[in-house]
Amino acid sequence: MTSLQQGLDPLLYLVAFFTTTNIINVSENTKVFNKNVSKNNKKELGKTINKELAREVSARIQELLNETGLKLEGLAVLSGIGKSAIKSYYATTIPISVENIAKICSPFSLELFGFLNFKTPLPAGLKEQTAFKEFYDKHIKSHPDYFTRKSNKPMQYNDNDKGRLKYIVNETDYFSTEKLTEEMVEDFIEIFGVKYESGRLSQMLKSHLGVLDKLPAVKFNKDGSLSKKEVFKYVKKKK
């Protein structure tokens, strides 16, 4: 049994999620963790050490998306959190602050403790909260991409990673254009509602090289310099 399953206060485990947190202040409504980072600890920023907690938070975000019909992009806009950041929280690649969890909770009138109490499902009626209803009415026509599109033809695949990827490769036109692995990670979350880590995805793609071409590609760093990392793009073979 894991520590998160023993019924202890989930807020206590948030401490482990911040490897550089030194000060804990208690306000009237919630516990706020303030980072006090030393020079020696700066290199730890952006790393998620407690992967168990990261997965729990990611699963909670997925539950919220399922209950409301939002996509990650829509949740980012509604909560006021950057799109890249919320995708990274969902992908468990960076730690999330308590402040940003509170931002996610706010439009749905969710208590912070309720969000972090992973043993208990989120309450019903999230879509009926005023802030969400106003957001929906404002954006459903101008930004339908903020919301999950309902399809009359559900995805048919075996309920495992290989089955999902096989469906995407063979039954959709996703690979009709060249795709980098990093693109796929984000696209699969947004379009198909499935999540893979890039390393795992690269390994699984090897079994589809009879259908896909694997082509060398170039990648640029954020500063504009050419990355030395070996990267590839994938596209369906021309018949």
Q: Is the pLDDT of residue 108 over 90?
A: yes
pLDDT for the residue 19: 36
User: Residue 124 pLDDT > 80, yes or no?
Assistant: yes
What's residue 172's pLDDT? 82
Which comes out higher in pLDDT, residue 58 or 151? 58
Q: pTM of the predicted model, to two decimals?
A: 0.51
Outline where the chain has alpha helix (H): 10-17, 51-68, 72-79, 83-90, 98-105, 112-116, 130-139, 161-171, 181-187, 198-205
- Minimum mean pLDDT among 17-26, 148-157, 184-193: which range? 17-26
pLDDT of residue 168: 85
